[in-house]
Structure 1
C-alpha cells in the first residue's frame, strides 16, 4: 500500500475471512461511500465481487462502480491480460508493475469497458469476466489446488499429472456465431437480459452450430489469458462483445497435447488445432455433458456439473485500467 499512500489515494481495507466473504460484503454495502473496489488476490475474489454486485436489486447502478485488481493469487489471468495489453512486464516484480498501472489509471480517472458473461446452470445464474472451462483444463485448475503452495507453477505440475491420465468427456457443444439475436428470453433474474439464450431445457435455435463428440478440453473465454503463462486466446480483447471458444477432441495424442501446452505461452497453439479441435468466436454457447459427474469451472471456481449455457454482455464492467 505505500505506493497508494504516496499517490494520496485514500483506501479502506477489508480482509476477507471466508470463502464468499467478498460476495457478502459488496452485496450489502453502501456503494455510494466508495469510489471504486480494488481486489488484491487472484481472479477468484474478483469473481465473488462481480457476482455480489450483480445479485443486488440495484445491480444496474452497482456494476458501474470501477473495479481493479492486483495480482496476489496463483492464476492472475485478468492482471496478466491487462499488463499484456499495455506492454507492461509481468514475470518479474508483477505487484510493482500492476500497482503502477492501477495508480496511473486511478490518478487520471480512467476506466475501460470489460465484457461480462452470464452463465446459467440448472439451478442458478452466475457471472464471469474470465472463462468457462470443462475437461482437461478444469481438472487441472481444481485438482491442482493441493499444490497451491507452488504458486503459478501448480498449473504446470497439474497439467503434466493429468496428461498421464488423459481423459475424454462425452458431450454436446452448441454455439451461436456472431449474428443478430434470436429473440429468446430466459426466466427473470437480476442482471441484463440474455436474449440469445433459450430456456436451458429447450433445444437451441436452428442458427446455432452443434458438435457432439468426445472432448479432451474446452475453454470459453472473454480475455486473452486465463492465468499466468496461459495465452489461450490471442484474438480476445476486453470489450469486443464476443467469446472465444477453443476445444480439443478425442484423437489428440499426449505428445500433441504436450506440444499444444508448450505453445500456449506464446498463443500460437490456436493455429495448430486441425481436425482435432477448433478456435472460433461466438456470442452464446451451451454445453451438455454426457460423461458422468466431473468438473466445470467459471473464472477458476467450481460450479454445478450438468447442462450449462451462457452469453456475452458487451462492456458491462468498468475496469480500472489506463486507456491511453
Structure 2
C-alpha cells in the first residue's frame, strides 16, 4: 500500500498563499524546550487533506530529523515520524501523456496499460487532464514483530500529490522543493535556503541542485554462488532498492574462477565509487586480493568501500556487518545488505595477511584447519541444496571423526579492546515520538517476492476504492488501532471543483517507474562480452602481492619466545575475525569489525563426540564456547604447521582451500572499508 497524500491550499488563497510552503530554515537557530533539550527546526510544512474521510487532514512537516505526519480527525490528534535514517530516497513523477494508440477507451485496453508513470527530471510530456506532481518518498522502517524481541525492516512508500496549480510545471516546482530538501537532509548536507523560498521560481535549478553520487557502483556478480540464482536475485531484490535510492551501477557477470580478481587487478576501478560483490564470501575474497595485486592498493582500499550482497551458502561477512550495526538480518538478508549499499555509510574492517609456502593473500573472515574446514570443502558436492549442505556434512564428519597431528603457535594479545555498547546504533538517532505503520504498493512484483521475508501484504489504493464503493465506510474508526496512524487504504486528494476528477492514481502503482526508473543510467554487461580479461586466471601462485609488509617473522623463520606453542593432535583449529562464519554460525561473539584481534579456537584430540555435538549445536547461539575441550584465544598472529607424515586434511582461507602445509596469519587493523547500514 502506498499512502497517498495531496498538496492542498484553500481555494480563496492568493499567489503568496498558494505557495504556502512554510520555510522555517531561515530561523535556523534551535529552539530550547522547557527541559533544556534542543528541538529540530522545521524545513518544510504543508497540510494535506483526505476526501474519503470527513474532518480528517494531515499536517506534514519535514524536519532535520525526519518526516512528521500529524493526523487530525474530529478533534483527535496523533503524530508519527519517519526517521531520516530510514529514508533512502525520493523521486518526482507525473502521469504520462497517452497517445492515440494507447487510448484507454480503445477495445481490449486493460488496467495494467494505464499504469504508466515516468520520472520528470527531463520535462516529459504529461497528461493534460492531470497536472499534479507526485513525490514518492521511500523508507524502510524498523518495526517490532509480533514475536517478542524480534525486529524487521518494512518498506513504506509515502506519496505526496501536489495539485494546487493549474500548470504541471508549477506543481512540480513545489514537489521538487520537498525532494531537494529531503535529499539534502538524507545526505547530511545543508539545505539551500534560497531554493526553498516560495519566491524562487527556477525549476531547473531545483532539479539540478539535488545531491547525489556522480560515480556509479561497480557490481561484480557470481551467477553460480549458492543455489545458482544470483542474477535473478539481484534483478528482483536488489535493483529495486538501488533504483529507489537512485544509485546507478555497472554490473559485470563473472565467467570463471578468479574473474573478479583479474577484473579488479587490471581495470580502472576509480571510475566507480565502490565495489559491490554479489555472491558468497568467495567473490569478495577475489575482490580483496585483486585490490592487493595492484601497485596502487593504498589508494584503492582508501577510496573504494566494499559492499556484499549475500547470495552464497555461508554469507558470514554480511551477517557480521548486520550484527555489528544491530540490524535485523535474518528475516530479510537481501534487504539489510541492500540498505548497506544505498545508505552510503562506511566502517573500517580488519584484514588478515596470510602466508603459505606458495603464496601471500589477504583474508577478511576466517582460517580453518580440521573439522569445520573439512565440512566446508567436502560439502561442496552438495552445493545445490544451499546452506543445508553444512548441516548434512557435519553429521557425516561427526560419525567419521578425524584428528590431525601438528603444531599451533600464536602471539597472544597484550590488551583486548573495550567491548562496544550493546545499545543499538540505530536507536541513538531514532525518533521515538511515534511509529508509522508499514505499507506496500499495488502490483509490486518485488513485494510478492519479499512476502516470505516477514513483510505483510496490504491492500492497494484501487482495492480501497472498490471496497468503499461497495458500502464500506472508510474512516469510521480512525483511532481504534493505537499502533497505526496511516491505514492500509489511506488516500488523500485536493477538492477542486473547477477540474474534472480523473482517476490518475494508476501513477502510484507503476511497476516500471518505481523499480526500473534508474535502469537506463545503469549498465549490464553480459557473459558473452569480451572485456579483455584473460580466459585462464586460476593459477594464483605466481602473482605479485603488494599490500602492507608483514611484521612477524617469515613463515620459514624461527618464532621468538613471546609466541606460545602447542604440539599434539587436533580435531580442529579455526581462526575468525568476524562474529559470524555463516548466517547461522555465531562463531566469535566478542569479535568486532575492526578490533585488531584474531579469535583462535582450538579443539584438541580427546574431545568426546557428545561434546563435539554440543559444540555444533551451540554454534548458532554462541554457546559453543562453554563446551568442555573448546578453547577460544584472542591473538595478534598465529602459525599452523601440520605434520607432514600425518593424515592429509584441508586448510581454508575465507572458505577457499589453500595448499595443505605451514600457514601463518597476522592482523592488520582497519585496513579496508565496508558499506554498512
Distance of 1:90 and 1:238 partners within structure 2: 16
Q: 2:325 aligns with which of 86, 105, 111?
A: 86
Q: 1:223 aligns with which of 569, 578, 587?
A: 578
Tell me, yes or no, if structure 1 residue 96 matches structure 2 residue 335: yes
How big is each residue's C-alpha offset from its partner over 1:92-115, in whole Å with a ceiling of 9 and x where there is no partner?
Answer: 3221222123322x2xxx210000
Tell me, yes or no, if structure 1 residue 49 matches structure 2 residue 287: yes
Contact 2:292 2:545 in 1 (8 A): no
Tell me, yes or no, if structure 1 residue 241 matches structure 2 residue 596: yes
Spell out the pairing of 1:163-312 with structure 2 (5 A cutoff).
Answer: 163-179=398-414, 190-195=546-551, 197-273=552-628, 276-290=629-643, 291-312=646-667
Structure 2 residue matching 1:119: 3-state secondary structure: strand
Q: How far off its partner does 1:54 sit?
A: 0.5
Distance of 1:102 and 1:157 partners within structure 2: 33
**TM-score, with structure 2 as normaliser:** 0.45
Structure 2 residue matching 1:51: 3-state secondary structure: helix
User: Which residue pairs with 2:366 in the alignment?
Assistant: 131
Structure 1 residue matching 2:648: 3-state secondary structure: coil
Contact 2:410 2:637 in 1 (8 A): yes
Q: 2:260 aligns with which of 1, 7, 22?
A: 22
User: Which residue pairs with 2:381 in the alignment?
Assistant: 146
Tell me, yes or no, if structure 1 residue 2 matches structure 2 residue 240: yes
Distance of 1:176 and 1:265 partners within structure 2: 28
User: Which residue pairs with 1:74 in the alignment?
Assistant: 313
Structure 1 segments of 4 or more deviating over 4 A?
none
Larger mean Cα displacement after TM superposition, 44-53 or 94-103:
94-103
Distance of 2:298 and 2:648 partners within structure 1: 35
How big is each residue's C-alpha offset from its partner over 1:265-320, in whole Å with a ceiling of 9 and x where there is no partner?
Answer: 111111324xx231010000000000343210000000011001010001011111
Contact 2:571 2:604 in 1 (8 A): yes
Distance of 2:289 and 2:335 partners within structure 1: 28
Distance of 2:563 and 2:594 partners within structure 1: 23
Q: How far off its partner does 1:158 sit?
A: 1.2
User: Which residue pairs with 2:394 in the alignment?
Assistant: 159
Contact 2:324 2:593 in 1 (8 A): no
Q: How far off its partner does 1:90 sit?
A: 2.8
Contact 2:368 2:653 in 1 (8 A): yes
Contact 2:325 2:676 in 1 (8 A): no
Distance of 2:566 and 2:630 partners within structure 1: 11
Tell me, yes or no, if structure 1 residue 62 matches structure 2 residue 313: no
Distance of 1:93 and 1:113 partners within structure 2: 24
Tell me, yes or no, if structure 1 residue 119 matches structure 2 residue 354: yes
What 5-or-longer segments of structure 1 have no aligned partner? 181-187
How big is each residue's C-alpha offset from its partner over 1:25-59, in whole Å with a ceiling of 9 and x where there is no partner?
Answer: 00011122010001111100000000000011111
Larger mean Cα displacement after TM superposition, 94-103 or 223-232:
94-103
When Rg is computed on C-alpha atoms for both structures, the one with the higher figure is: 2
Distance of 1:86 and 1:14 partners within structure 2: 29
Distance of 1:305 and 1:38 partners within structure 2: 31
**TM-score, with structure 1 as normaliser:** 0.92
Distance of 1:55 and 1:101 partners within structure 2: 26
Structure 2 residue matching 1:223: 3-state secondary structure: coil
Q: How far off its partner does 1:189 sit?
A: 5.1
Structure 1 residue matching 2:252: 3-state secondary structure: coil
Distance of 1:97 and 1:67 partners within structure 2: 15
Structure 1 residue matching 2:251: 3-state secondary structure: coil
Q: 1:38 aligns with which of 259, 262, 276?
A: 276
Structure 2 residue matching 1:68: 3-state secondary structure: strand
Contact 2:366 2:655 in 1 (8 A): yes
User: Which residue pairs with 1:184 in the alignment?
Assistant: none
Contact 2:614 2:627 in 1 (8 A): no
Structure 1 residue matching 2:289: 3-state secondary structure: helix
Q: How far off its partner does 1:190 sit?
A: 1.2
Structure 1 residue matching 2:603: 3-state secondary structure: strand
Distance of 2:603 and 2:291 partners within structure 1: 34
Distance of 1:97 and 1:264 partners within structure 2: 22
